[in-house]
Every structure is written in structure tokens, then in C-alpha cells.
Structure 1
Amino acid sequence: MQLGLPARVQTLKDPFQEVLASLPAQSTLNQLPEGAEAGPLPPDRLVTFNPRELAGLELLPQTVRSLTQKSNEVRQQLEEIRQRLGEVPEAALYKLTEAQAFLEQQPGQEEQARSIALEGIDHARQQINALGDRLQQLTTTIWQELEQLVVQMSNHLLQLSNPEMAISLQQHLQRKKSRKQKAAEQKRNSLSNTPLRRLQARLQQRLKTAGQEQHRFWAQLGLEEPLASSPSAPALPDYLAEKEQALQRLPFVYQRLFTPEPLPDELLLVGRTAERHELQEASRRWQQGVFSSLLLVGEGGSGSSSLLSLFAKKLPPDTPLARLPLQAGIDNRVALARQLAPLLGLPEHTAWEALQAWLRQPPAPQVVVVEDIQYLFRRWMGGLALMHDFLDLVAGSSRQVLWLCSCSLYAWKYLHRTLEDAQAWSRVVELQPFSQAELRELIMRRHLLSGYQLQYEPGPQEQRQPISSLPAEEKQALLEETLFTNMHRFAQGSLRLALLYWQWSAVAVSKTTITLRASLPGEPVLPEQLQPNSYFMLQALLLHGQLTAPELCRILNQPERHCRSQLQLLHKLQLILEQGSGYTLNPLLYRLVVTVLKQKNLLH
């Protein structure tokens, strides 16, 4: 069987081990200087040592470690080349799809649509050539490094014939054995001190908890330190204008790739292994006749819509499926029945009681997906009635209907504390924030479909660091790592915010390359002229997703005139956006609003 390059590199350790095993178990060298008279050798001038043991002290571990490391590096680079080669056709096909979409949106622009499609072909050709060059360079580099390794090993073996080197290695071997014995003794001693260390850790944790409780107590009394505006923090209008300019720099195709919307297929899906397993388990239990309704909970942009959509696509084609993405404006069960009934094949004006009876005994098992159930309640007297009705509907039909629903994170926290019948769900799955590695893979998968190359430049923070003297490749790698670290810190695991941050980082676009800045200027702060009611408005919008002006006035129990003046101020500052007849939080400022509300003790 013919071995690949990584396996060949890895198997080279066997010949090295055979060479070392052939060394004698004992050897003697003399320490007489050159030109000394011949005669009997004094015993104190003879050096007896074990070449096999001395060679195994450093040479063998270093050689095996180097070969394993090089094998892993080669395997990793080959896998990356293979993946990128497989993504080249996808990128060209995506460009063709975008050209068709562009032509549908702007009929008569055949020439520009053709240029988009040809651009995809050119990028594909360039990527294939670049991957071929990279593979050739990898092959050349690895054999050069192996030749250097053989030379180093030969030199090391020759040094064993030097008495001074042999003595030095013997002393090093004795010190190493002594360190091992000392480490084992320290480990035994540390085990005897375990209770003391545990007590120390427990005291430190209690002190930390006491400090947090004290801070919370002062905050509740209104004695917390005011939020000081950073002198480098930009004003909100300037901040938003800069972000909009960054988005406009990017090509139409690139903006489409990074639009936060539900995924059409699993090509761009990363992570969420546990959550997908929960969906599959819920379906399996339901098919066995077990109560298995499931609720996905997460921040906006956490991927709940994509998970539900992709799961629904994997259902057998003959499975009855009803999918209802809820929107604001549903305030009673009659309105909810009018939206849900047609999806189940029932008349639009089906009464709630009739819908409830049909779902308890449907003609065939049903799968019902309802997204954003936070629109089914309002935080005022009697505002939970519709949510109670919906939960009764779920609980009463979950053996015949597989209910898969989603809810925003902070709305669910409120409902979980408020509702007694929130246990209508057999499983509540909270979507965990994406890790930095997952966000990197999610971003790079989308970027590779574009066909553009990437270039990184220092941002405000990196310009204060001495990185200009680094080699070009190391500098680019450092800036890339810095960008993803800053992105993860800003997004805090939210894919939607990570996609926005990536686009904001764009500072220049050429025909083949997009240049990104490793760090962005400081984040803005909320203006000082905001009144306390404004923070409660932001809290209500975060909780409900979208509210009209009368609804906000009713929730806050404020006169409409005063409430509308606060709304106008928030809208002028672009903290909120007008959407239809209601208002929503500006998604560009979502993380800022959440942070401030937590500092104000309005979110937990």
C-alpha cells in the first residue's frame, strides 16, 4: 500500500530508532590530550558511559517529537488544501447564483451580471493555481527540513565520541533523574496538603461572593459609581455612520454572504452538535409516543431559526409540517388561530376550540414549528393570557404533535420566573454562545465562498505594539488572531454580531483582496441625557422584540405624551428603529444596550 506524505514522515522514526538501538550498551573513552606518550592509561582518565542511554536522553525524544510535529503539520496543511479545493466549485457556483439574483432584481443589466459570474470563474482559477503552488512549496519545504533533521542527528551522534560531551550528557542525565525523584516527592507532599488548599480556595470564593453581594447591595441603593464616558469613546451618530460606511465598501456578493439570515443548507453550519442531538432525540421520543415538545432559547442571531429550518428539511417527505414564524401584532388567540389553522390545512376562520380539538386528534401525526413565541405575551395586567392559551395547546396535544418552538433569551427568563405552567416543554435547550474557534470557522467558510483574498492591517491598539519588525507571514497571522479575539470579545458568542463585526473591519476592497483592520476604535456609550424611563423602554423592547408606542406607554404606565417624547429621543439617537407600526432595538447597538441594562441591574 502506498503511503501518503504525512504517513511517510511519521514512519521515518522507525529507522531512527533502529540506528539508536544498534548503539552499544557500554563504551569507554580516554581523556588524554592529543600527542600524549603511549603507555598504560590511568583509571581516572577513562570515561565509561552508555551511548544508547545518552542518545535516548535527548536525541530520540527530540527526533520522534520533531517527526510527529512535522507529520501533523503536513496533515493539517494537506487537509486545509483539500477543503479549500473542494470549496472552489461552491464559490464559483455561488457567484453564478448571485449573478442570477442580481439580474432578477435589476433586469437589463446583463453585462454586469455576466461580469459577476466571470469574476467567480477567475477567482476559482486563481485559487486552484495558488493551491497548486502551495502544495509544491509544502513538498519542497518538508524534505528540506527532514534533511536538516538527519544532519542534526548525525552531528549529535558524532559528539558522543567527545569525552567532554559524554561527561556533560552523563551529568545532565543524573540531574534529570534527580528532578524526577524530587517531583515525585513534591507530589506526595502536595497530596497531604490537599485539605488545606481546598480550605484556602473555599475562603477565596466566599470573599469573592461577599464582594459581589456588596456591589449588588450598593447598586440597589443607587449608590453605584456613575458610568463615566471614556474620552476616546465615539459619539453614537459618528459610530453608526462609520459602521455604515464600512458596510458600503463591501461588494454586493460579499454583503449577501454575511447577511444574518437562516441558513439554506448545512454548508455554513458549524457546531451546535448538542442542540442538533436534542432535536433528533425529541423526534425519536415523539415517534415512540412520548411527550416531547422542545423549546430553543437564545439571543437574537444565535441560530435557532437555522437549526429548526435544517431539522425540518431532514424530516421524511411525507411528514405533515406546519411552520409559523411569529411576528408582532398577535394579541389574542383568535389572531393566533387565523395564522396557524391554514398551515395545518384548516379554514382560516377556524375557532380556537376547534383548532385545539383537531390538534388533540389529528388525522396523522404533525410537526409544528413556531418561532419567536416572545410575541405571545405583554408585560402588563392580563398580558400573559395568550401565552397561557398557547401553552395549554402545546401541553394538550404533544403526544400527537411534535412542537418545536423558539424564544428569545431574556423573554424566556422572564416567563420562566412568572409562569406556573412554563413546564409545558419536556425539554428547554439554551443555545450556548459560539466559541472563538467556531466563530472563526463560521466566518472563514462564508469568506471562502466569495473567492477574495484577505489582508490584515494594524488597528488603533496594534499600532502601539512593536509588530512592524516581524516577518510578513508572522505579522499577518498575529493580526488575524487579534481580529478574531476582538470579534469574540465584542460578539460574546453571537453569530449575528460577529458577522457585523467582520464587515465593519473592512477598510479597503480591491478586485481580488479585502483588507481588514485587526481592531476597531472604542465602543460608544449611551448619552447622559437619557432619563430613567428610557432605560425601561430599552428593557421592554429587548424583552418583547417589537412594540408600538401605545404598548410601550401601557407597559411603563406612563402618559402617552411623555412616552412619545422619550421614543423620539431614542429614535433620534438611533438606539431604536421604526419597523412598521412599532419600534425595535437597533441591532448594531444590541450588545451595548444589553451591557448597560445589566449595569443598571435591569437584566439578569
Structure 2
Amino acid sequence: MTSNSLLQALEDHFVSLNRMVLKSLEDSVNIHREAIKRYLAASKDLSHPQGEDQNGEEAIRRILAFHKANLEVCNSMFTEISADTPLTGMLSILRQEHEKLLEKIPVKMPLEYPQGYFALNRNDPFLSKIMRTTEWTLLAPRQALSSLLNPIRKLMGKKIPEPVLPVHQVHARHLYRQFLLPHYLNRLTELIQETRKEISASLTVLLENELKEHPKFHWKKQYDILLGSFFQEKLEEFGKLINHSGSPLSFTSWRIWYKREILKNAFSQMVYIERSWRITYYAFYEDWRFREHLFTFIQEVRLIMLEVSSIFSGRIRTTLYPELEKQKAFITRILDGLPDPDKASMEELKSYLVKELYRMNKEKKLQLQEGTVFEAAEDIPGILQKLENVILEKLQDFPQKVGVVHSPDYQKGIRQSEIRYFSPSEFLEFNSLAEFLQVQNKLKVDLGKLLEKIVREFREFDQIVDFYLDSAIALTQKPGIQEDEVIMIFREGLKRLEGISDRSKTMLGDLDQKKWSEISANTEAFINSVSKLDDNDNILKIYTQLLRSRALASSAQNRKRLASGMKTTASRLSRYSSQHFGWLRTSYEDIRKLLKLTSSSATITSEISNYLAGIRKRINELPVIYQHLFEQAPVKEMNLFLSRKNDTEKLDQALADWEKGNFAATLVTGEAGSGCSSLLLHYARTLKSQYPILSFQVDKFYFSTDDFYTLIGEIFNQIDITDEGSLAHFVSTLSEKIVIIDGLERLFMRKVNGFECLRKFLSLVVNTNESIFWICSVSKIAYHYLNRTVALSEHFDYILDIDNLKGSDIREIIMKRNRLSGYNIWFLNSTEASEDDSDASQEELEEAFFADLERFAGSNIGLSLIYWLQSVQSVGEEGIKVDKFSVPDFEFLDNLPARKAFVLLLVVIHRKITEKYHALASNCSLEESSGLLSLLKEDSILVQKDGYFFLNGILYRHAVKLLRDRNLIH
């Protein structure tokens, strides 16, 4: 191969390389060009009309569609970039073409020295001397040999030649590898760098959503400048290298050794540049893709927020507001229709009230058949849950891992070490979602409580009206009351009900405006918090906080585990000491009492008596409606009865067992005031059975044999049962029925032969099981006493203990009765009547009151009602003020004389006594009995009503404690 053919081959080679490079670069640029085209096409729909609400649903949907389109563009670009790129293919082709050309170029190629080769640079005296020396060294041997051969040439007639320089070996392959190709690769690397910078500049602007038109790339101009004339620029220099190659002046061997890594470095530099830009694009598209995910998520949250807002407001305005208007119209109609008290008689008034009660019950049944609007209203908290569910669901759309760079400069390039990876969903859960859900849960609880109040008041509207109508009808039958008094009480009740409706309307306003504003503000704060992740620096700061928080959480968990272990150990030690050393304190207190070292007074002072009388007086001064609601009597109104599902199911189970032919007599027992009578009354009223039901309340005392026959006659409404024969005849004719007897504690007397009536009754219960399903009740103290005397429990197959109400049940009973009264409640913070109207403070005071009440009264409904009334400080137009509950101190009972303690024993066992009964039971005269009971009545320990003496309910707990301390009851 000659030098000319070598140059021609190299020129053809570089022309071919340029075409390939041009194609590869153009394909690479087109990837981003097409992406930008798709972006610009998607962004056309983002334009907003002038004055359009940017937070409107249409605008949000358009923005959401824009970001989703961008995300698709980004994902497709990311896929192409992540796969094999045109640049990667170009590098592979360059290596292949390089290897092919090397096979065509010889390692060494002979070439004669050109004329005047050593005459070069002779203007330099020093170089001229070197060149003359070199020339003489190369030509002297040839001239000496030629001089020896010239005579022979003359004899032979040949021309005598001029002495010439020897042929030198051109290192053609080396010159290509170490000179042309590295320079070309460096030029190409420079062009790639310029191209990538241009693309990165456009993409960076695109990332900021500021690119409005297709960018014009100038990389082809750079191609013409850097590669188009590359070979012509290097041809002259390359020619000189060919002429010098292999000559003494070229030092070729040394240069080969010195520049042996130049081509490798050129390739490596190009690969490094290509890879660095791949990393840069990767970081860019990761950034872009995450931002589009982020903005898509934000717009989806805004969209669901609009949807939830529409449903939320719609439910309120289509369900609750119309119901409120119906209630207001109902109250107005009844008030306007009330008869004139000056013209109407009591019978006419009663007739009007009965007619309205019937009409209301009819409308209520129709409403139950058609369905209630409250079901839709109660689902409102579920709407907020839908918002949370959508947010949690959309969080899963984020990539599992995303790379971010601190303050990225995409035109400069990104190194792999600069990329930090994180989980977007984990970041959002830590930085934004946790706080959002915490506030959201609190708002849901507040919303639920407010909605519960509203719906409860709506639901209880009919019950309140029903109660007022029933009470007014009952008042029309009360002797001595006038028509205007009945109408006044009824009108005042409806006015309070009207006030409840106004309060419900205010609460609806708070629900529709204030509460939703708080929910919207929380969601907007969440969106703003999420938007901060648009800044890479914020992400890295949060990442640092996340790591720190994890470490702190782990440390806190370890401390909590340690504290829990220590607390458990301390609790076990405390229980052990209380179990094994509690007798010390008990013995100490007993010794003090025996030695009369206690501070209790042996007599009831006037202050104590006046205090007890004052409580009774204050309770009696409460409004009639309020006293009626909290009356210590079996609940007759269905609205006041607390559903005791578990207890009624046990009664049903016993009934089913009896229907199978088994012995199933049932005894219901509970503390005085636990609701035994109310339960049995409710069960008798609501039980749907094929058998007739007889319900009998034992109000009088029965203890002798004759009393037994009288009792049976009254139970079955028979007047001819006077002995065993008539009883046996009656029993033989009995058909199957259910008999409910309330009050077995009044079927005996605590004396010799005082249990005859009870024994005969229990025998009848056992012998008539085939035809009668017996349900009886007895107070718990009487139950324990009778178990030891007549083995009461052995006569019944089912023993139902109803002392199982929770504090929340007692609270609901009291609060429901108060709601039925129509009065608002303010809980006072102290005896000075300082009050706080804030909902939070009232809730705290309410919680504290009922917690203290539960600790003292337990599951005793009657006792809880008494102490509620005792805590009522005042009643006015603005509502009821309830004082802070405090456990009363009645330690004076500890030193009560034995004869008075015996009276308490009788009252606690039988729940009430008469003077005659006490005289018989205590074996004293009627006069002595009357004096003693009157004395206890004057001390306000006993209360007299309808000829019976009852224990002052306030003293019940202390009286029971006294009797137990003296071993009179167990």
C-alpha cells in the first residue's frame, strides 16, 4: 500500500464514520425531540380561559390530564433511555469499524525519503549541523561504495547514479491508532458533550414547565465545525508524520511506548462521557417522573376533595335540614292548635292531646316503613374515610424507589455518587401523611360526636314529644290541677324542644361550614406539605429527619419496653402486698372503732339532718317534668328504658327451655335500684308469645299461710282460693301461661314462722312448672339472706344477676332522660359555680363527673339517678347547672344504735317497711315502732310515702356498708 492509497482509505473511512455518527446523534436527539413534541402537545390543553377558577373541577381535571400525559411521555422516554441508546450503539460501531480498518492498514510500509528531506530546518544553525551530520552518516558509506563501483560502471558503459538515502519504514497502523483516531474520538466526545448540554438545557426548562415552543438544536453546526473537516485539517500534519515515520528524526519506537494508552484513554473518555450523560438523563427523568407523580397525586387529592365536599354538603342539605324544617313545622302546628284554657275543659284538652299522640305515632310508623333519612346522615363520617382511602390508594401509584440529586445541574452532568434513593410513599407517610391522619382522625372524632348529637336529637324528637304528650295526659288526670297549668307545662316543654331545634340548626351550620372548613384546611395543609417535595433539597432534609426519627423511635420503644417491665413488676408487688398485708389496715381500723378513737359522732347532728333534708327539698323543687323523668319507680315509658339485650336473651333462653318441657323457673336478682322491676315490666310488654302473660308487683307484705292464699288470689285474680283444696283445684285447671312476680323480698318476715308464705309460694313454683313459666325477682341482699334460710336458689333453674351495667350505660340513661326534658346542661367546675362554655371543657367535666359517679354508684341505676338529682345545683331558662360530683361523708352511721341499725336492715332487705311490719318483726309495740320510725324520718334517714318508709337513697351505699361491718348482711 502506498501513502496515497493509505490516505484515500483513511479519508473514505472517516467519511463513513461521520455518516454513522451523524445518524446516531440524530437518533439520540430525536428521542428527546419527540418527547418534547409530546409534552408540548399535552400542554396545549392546559391553557385556562381568562378569569377561570383554577381550583374548579374542570380546571383540576385538565391539569390532572396534563400531568398524566406528561407521566406517560416521561415513562416512555425513561424506558428508551434506560434501554440501549443510539450513543451506546455508536460506540459499539466505532470499535467495530476501528478493528476492520486496522486489518487493512499494514503495520509497516516502506517509503523513500523525499528530496531535500535533510535540508529541512537548515535555517537553524544548530539543527543544520545535526542534519548535516545525519546526512553524512547515512550517505558516506553509500558514497564510498559508489566510488569503488564507478570505474566498473564506466567500463560497462553504465550511467553513474547519484548516491540516495535508504528507504524508511512508515508505521502506518501506529499513526492511525495513536494520532488520527484519538483526535477524532476527542472531537466526537466534544460534539457529544455540546449536544448533550443543548438537550439538557431544553429539558431543564421543560422540567420547570416554562417551555412553550419546540427548541431549536444547533448540534449540526457543531458537527460541521468539529467533524466535517476533521480529515482535511489533520491531513498536512498526518503527511509530515508519514514522512518522518521510521526515520532517525521520528523516534517512532519511543513514541509508541510513550503513547500506547492514548487510544484507550480516548475511548474511555468517550465511554465515560456517554455514561455520565446517561446517568444525567437518568437523574433528570427520575426527577421529572417523580414530579409528575407528585403533581398527579396532588390534583387527584384536590379532585376527590371536591367530590367529597359535594357529597358532604349534599347529605346535610338533603337529609338533615329538611328534617329540621319538618320538626319546626310540627312544633308550630301543635302550639297553634292548643285549646284556649279559658274556654276548653279538661276533657277537651285531654282529647286534643290523645289525638295528637295518636297522629304522631301513626306518622312514626309510616316513617319507619318508608325508611329514615338518618341512615344517610350517619354515613357522613364514612365520606371522610373515602378521602383517606383514596389518598392511601394513590400513594401506591408512586414508584417504589426514586433517585434525587442535591441542587442538580443537569447541564454540567450528574455523577452516580450524587444520586440518593428514597421511597416516595415512605417519605410522604413520614413527612405529610402522619400529621394529616392525626388531625383527620381528631376531626373525624369531633365530626362524629357532633353528628351523633344532631342525629340523636333528631331521633329523640318524637320520643320527647311523646313524653310531653304522655306527661300532659297524665297531668289531666291529676286531682286539683287546672287546665292552664297543664297547658303551661306542656307549652314550656315544647318551647324547650323548639330551643333544641334551634340548637340543632346551629350545630348543622357548624357541621356544614366550620367543620368542613377545618377538614379542607387540613387537606390543604397536607397538599402544601406534599408540594414541598418538589424541591430536592427538602427531600434530602426530610430523608435526614426520617433516619433520625427512626433512631429516636427505636430508642423510645426500648425505653417504653423498659418502663412497661418496671411498671408490671411494681404492679405485681403492689397486688401481692395488698393481698397479704391488707388485713393490717383492716385490723387497725377495727381496733380504733372498738376503742372509740374514731371521729364519728354517736348522734346525728342537726347539720347532718338539715343537710339531708336540704337535699330532699332541692330535689322536690326541681321542675315537675324533671322529677317525673328521674322518678325512683319502674320505667313505664318505652323511651326511658335502656335496652338490656343480654338479659332479655337469657330470659328468652329460659322460656325456650320451658317450652321444651324442662324445669326453667327463673329468678332475677339485683341490687336495689339496679332495674329489676323495669326489666320485668319491659319484658312483659314486649314479649311476643302465644301464652298469656300475668305480671304482678308485690307492693304489700305477705308472710303467713293466709297471706299466701291471698297472694295467689291477687296474682290470678281469683277470690275463692282460701285453702289447699281450693288451690289444688285451681292449679288443676290452669292453662299454660307466663307469670312474672316482682318483689319476693316482701313474701317473708324476719321472725319465727315468718317464712310460711314464701315456702308455700316456692313449692307452688316447683309444682306448677308444667303449666306456668315463672319469672320472679328479688333484691340481691334478700337473695343472699334467703339462700341461707330457705335455700332460695334451689327452687329456680335460672339465676339472672343483672348488676352488669357499665358506666357508659348509666351515663346514657341519665343523659337521655335529661335530653327528653329539653334542658341544656352546664357542668360546673367548682362549688363556686364557675363555668366554662367551651365544648372541650364541658366534655372534660362531663367525663370527670360520670367517672366519679361510676366509682361510687357502680351499676346501680337508682342510686345514680338520686346522685344526679342531688348534684343539680339550679334549673333556669338557660338550662341545668350540675355541680361537681363528690362522695358524701356519712360516717355518723357507723355509730348508729342497734335498734336503729335493725330498722335499716329491714328496709334494706325488703326495700320498704310499715310501722306494723316493723313492730311485728322487732317484737315491739306499734307505738314504739311509730316513734322510732318517725325519729329516723326526722333525721332524714328514712323517707315516708303512701304509708311506707323507704331508705333515703343517698344513704344506701353507707347503710349497706354499716350492715356489713356489723355482720348483719353478707
Corresponding residue for 1:451? 822
Instruction: Kindly indicate whether the alpha-carbon contact (under 8 Å) linking 1:460 and 1:520 is maintained by their aligned counterparts in 2.
Output: no
Secondary structure of the structure 1 residue equivalent to 2:940: coil
Q: CA deviation at 1:365?
A: 0.5
Q: Deviations over 1:308-343 (max 9, x none)?
A: 111111234763333332234312132122222243
Q: CA deviation at 1:569?
A: 4.4
Of 900, 913, 916, 1:534 maps to 900
Q: Tell me the amino acid that sits aligned with residue 487 of structure 2.
A: R
User: Which stretch has the larger CA shift, 8-17 or 389-398?
Assistant: 8-17
Of 388, 392, 397, 1:13 maps to 388
Q: CA deviation at 1:571?
A: 3.8
Corresponding residue for 1:502? 868
Instruction: Kindly indicate whether the alpha-carbon contact (under 8 Å) linking 1:443 and 1:499 is maintained by their aligned counterparts in 2.
Output: yes
Q: CA deviation at 1:178?
A: 5.3
Instruction: Kindly indicate whether the alpha-carbon contact (under 8 Å) linking 2:655 and 2:664 is maintained by their aligned counterparts in 1.
Output: yes
Structure 1 residues 382 and 102: CA distance shift in structure 2, 3 A: closer
Q: Deviations over 1:273-326 (max 9, x none)?
A: 221111111122112222111111112221111111111112347633333322
Q: Deviations over 1:186-216 (max 9, x none)?
A: 999999x99xx89x97776454233344555
User: Which stretch has the larger CA shift, 490-499 or 515-524?
Assistant: 515-524
Instruction: Kindly indicate whether the alpha-carbon contact (under 8 Å) linking 1:337 and 1:351 is maintained by their aligned counterparts in 2.
Output: yes
Identity of counterpart residues, as a percentage? 22
Instruction: Kindly indicate whether the alpha-carbon contact (under 8 Å) linking 1:246 and 1:504 is maintained by their aligned counterparts in 2.
Output: yes
Corresponding residue for 2:850? 484
Structure 1 residues 130 and 572: CA distance shift in structure 2, 3 A: closer
In structure 1, distance between residues paired with 2:627 and 2:946 = 24
Q: Deviations over 1:472-507 (max 9, x none)?
A: 333322332333233334433221122222222222
Structure 1 residue 152 and structure 2 residue 535: aligned? no
Structure 1 residues 357 and 215: CA distance shift in structure 2, 3 A: farther
Structure 1 residues 394 and 356: CA distance shift in structure 2, 3 A: farther
In structure 2, distance between residues paired with 1:167 and 1:228 = 71
Corresponding residue for 1:121? 494
Structure 1 residue 511 and structure 2 residue 877: aligned? yes
In structure 2, distance between residues paired with 1:224 and 1:423 = 43
Corresponding residue for 2:581? 211
Structure 1 residues 600 and 44: CA distance shift in structure 2, 3 A: farther
Secondary structure of the structure 1 residue equivalent to 2:891: coil
Secondary structure of the structure 2 residue equivalent to 1:369: strand
Corresponding residue for 1:588? 954
Structure 1 residues 234 and 138: CA distance shift in structure 2, 3 A: farther
Q: CA deviation at 1:166?
A: 3.5
Instruction: Kindly indicate whether the alpha-carbon contact (under 8 Å) linking 2:803 and 2:860 is maintained by their aligned counterparts in 1.
Output: no
In structure 2, distance between residues paired with 1:18 and 1:580 = 69
Work out which of the two has the higher radius of gyration on C-alpha atoms and give 1 or 2: 2
Q: CA deviation at 1:252?
A: 1.4
Corresponding residue for 1:430? 801
Q: Tell me the amino acid that sits aligned with residue 13 of structure 1.
A: E
Corresponding residue for 1:387? 758
Structure 1 residues 212 and 399: CA distance shift in structure 2, 3 A: farther
Structure 1 residue 74 and structure 2 residue 447: aligned? yes
Q: Tell me the amino acid that sits aligned with residue 344 of structure 1.
A: F
Q: Tell me the amino acid that sits aligned with residue 135 of structure 1.
A: L
Q: Deviations over 1:7-50 (max 9, x none)?
A: 33222224434654454521323269xxx9x9677888765433
Q: Tell me the amino acid that sits aligned with residue 50 of structure 1.
A: S
| Greater RCO structure (CA 8 Å; 6+ sep) | 1
Secondary structure of the structure 2 residue equivalent to 1:28: strand
Instruction: Kindly indicate whether the alpha-carbon contact (under 8 Å) linking 1:239 and 1:524 is maintained by their aligned counterparts in 2.
Output: no
In structure 2, distance between residues paired with 1:595 and 1:244 = 22
Give the structure with the larger helix fraction.
Answer: 2
Secondary structure of the structure 1 residue equivalent to 2:750: coil
Instruction: Kindly indicate whether the alpha-carbon contact (under 8 Å) linking 2:703 and 2:756 is maintained by their aligned counterparts in 1.
Output: no
Q: CA deviation at 1:522?
A: 4.1
Q: CA deviation at 1:424?
A: 0.8
Corresponding residue for 2:745? 374
User: Which stretch has the larger CA shift, 163-172 or 501-510?
Assistant: 163-172
Q: CA deviation at 1:344?
A: 2.2
Structure 1 residues 596 and 529: CA distance shift in structure 2, 3 A: closer
Secondary structure of the structure 2 residue equivalent to 1:346: coil
Instruction: Kindly indicate whether the alpha-carbon contact (under 8 Å) linking 1:263 and 1:269 is maintained by their aligned counterparts in 2.
Output: yes
Corresponding residue for 1:26? 402
Structure 1 residue 321 and structure 2 residue 693: aligned? yes
Q: Tell me the amino acid that sits aligned with residue 621 of structure 2.
A: R
Instruction: Kindly indicate whether the alpha-carbon contact (under 8 Å) linking 2:406 and 2:540 is maintained by their aligned counterparts in 1.
Output: no
Of 243, 263, 284, 2:615 maps to 243
In structure 1, distance between residues paired with 2:538 and 2:725 = 93
Corresponding residue for 2:667? 295
Structure 1 residues 445 and 520: CA distance shift in structure 2, 3 A: same
Corresponding residue for 1:570? 936
Instruction: Kindly indicate whether the alpha-carbon contact (under 8 Å) linking 1:333 and 1:352 is maintained by their aligned counterparts in 2.
Output: no
Instruction: Kindly indicate whether the alpha-carbon contact (under 8 Å) linking 2:695 and 2:741 is maintained by their aligned counterparts in 1.
Output: yes
Q: CA deviation at 1:519?
A: 3.1
Instruction: Kindly indicate whether the alpha-carbon contact (under 8 Å) linking 1:9 and 1:70 is maintained by their aligned counterparts in 2.
Output: no
Structure 1 residue 307 and structure 2 residue 679: aligned? yes
Q: CA deviation at 1:428?
A: 1.0
In structure 1, distance between residues paired with 2:944 and 2:489 = 34
Q: CA deviation at 1:234?
A: 9.0
Q: CA deviation at 1:550?
A: 7.1
Secondary structure of the structure 2 residue equivalent to 1:407: strand
Structure 1 residues 152 and 570: CA distance shift in structure 2, 3 A: same
Structure 1 residues 188 and 429: CA distance shift in structure 2, 3 A: same
What are the within-5 Å matches in structure 2 for residues 51-130 of structure 1? 51-106=424-479, 109-130=482-503
Q: CA deviation at 1:259?
A: 0.8
Instruction: Kindly indicate whether the alpha-carbon contact (under 8 Å) linking 1:268 and 1:445 is maintained by their aligned counterparts in 2.
Output: yes
Structure 1 residues 293 and 219: CA distance shift in structure 2, 3 A: farther
Instruction: Kindly indicate whether the alpha-carbon contact (under 8 Å) linking 1:462 and 1:519 is maintained by their aligned counterparts in 2.
Output: no
Structure 1's unaligned 5+ residue stretches are none
Q: Deviations over 1:66-118 (max 9, x none)?
A: 44554454344323312211222332333233333333325572222222222
Aligned length: 590
Corresponding residue for 2:640? 268
Q: Tell me the amino acid that sits aligned with residue 113 of structure 1.
A: V
